[in-house]
Amino acid sequence: MAEADPDFLAAHLLRGMRVASWVIVMTILLGLALPNVLGALDAYRTAWLVLAWFAVLLAVALVDGVLVLRRRSWGPARWPVAAMILAVSGAALTAVPGPLLVTPADPILGTVGWLGVLLFADRSIWLLAAFLACSPVLTLVYVGFADRLDQPTIARLLLATVSIGGFQLAAGAAALALRRVAAEASAAAVRQSEIRTAEAVAAQLHADRDGRYEALRDSVVPLLTGMADGSLRPADPGVRQRCAVEAARMRRLFAEADDTADPLGSALAAVIDVAERRGVVVSLSRLGRWVQPPGDVRGMLVDEVAAALLSADGSARVTIGGSEETVAVSVVVERGDVEGGIRDRGDVRVTTLTEGGRVWVEARWTKVPAPMS
């Protein structure tokens, strides 16, 4: 059974919470607020103000539904929308006669706060609480203007604020808690992906190294067998050259296991060490900072330089340099048995020049840019 992606599950749950909030708001608007408004329409001073208020709230809810379907949030637009809701709510209250305040005919108490859940549930519990407080404060102001600050009216206002506002605040807090869970699940998914990628890279590197060891055995075993049965003589210059080459390859493979920031330089150092053991005086120059090539490319770069370096008899100069896009390894030897020319070995371009007993070999690799999606 395939393992569920935590990042996908978090996004799915978060979207489900937004859908649930939207359904609640639409139910409040169409199933509760609209019947109350229509039932008291004849009692309002200015009925069209109350109808305009309801139309604005319904439009905001419908826009939020579109945003949910497109998996987008309100962003900075939430602020002017919240200000517009409070403005039209205050205007609608002017159309409500004093005796209808803090009754089911009151158009904003218990309704406006749900729009705040849609606007601010993905931001902060404090912003949501501040918006929820605006509705009872506006109602209290108009109750004072209507000279309705009696004990029963204040008690009803407090009861509605605590009961309905507490439910709205709990819904917003649940959405915020779910966002935190989603963020933690997303971070866990990223860490899991990084671990899996590292494991895959390590497995691939191990397989590549095993392949190179297998190739090395194919060349080293016949050499050792020939020296053991006497068919190859250690005094033969050709045999000594083959031994030096294979020794350099072995040391390069050993160097690949070294945890270093410059595996190419480490592999070159192994080849230089072999050359110096043969009596070659080698100088090494490093120019700039270069991109690190893949393991197979690194092997080709080192092999080309090693072939010239291990054929030297006297002195040699090795240079490694490049940039963020390319790396080049070159060697100049006083004497060597190397043919000149330019050739491509996979992604590596090898240039060889000979002049007056000197041989210059350069192996260059250029990083291919990733295709744009």
Q: Report pTM.
A: 0.51
- Strand pairing category for 281-287 and 358-366: unpaired
Q: What is the DSSP string of 199-224?
A: HHHHHHHHHHHHHHHHHHHHHHHHHH
CB of 108 closer than 8 Å to CB of 92: yes
Domain ranges in the chain are 6-192, 261-366
CATH class for the domain made up of 261-366:
alpha beta
d(C-alpha 313, C-alpha 96), whole Å: 105
In this predicted structure, what is the pLDDT of residue 148?
Answer: 75
What's the average pLDDT block by block, 10 residues per block, for the chain (373 residues)? 49 77 91 89 90 94 92 88 92 87 80 88 82 86 80 83 81 75 71 78 71 74 84 82 72 57 77 77 79 83 84 82 87 72 85 83 80 45
pLDDT score, position 335: 66
- According to DSSP, the residues that pair with 362 across neighbouring strands are 330, 351
- Residue 259 is predicted with a pLDDT of 47
3-state secondary structure of 122: coil
CB 144 within 8 A of CB 86: no
Q: Which two tokens stand for residue 167?
A: 């439910």
* pLDDT score, position 184: 74
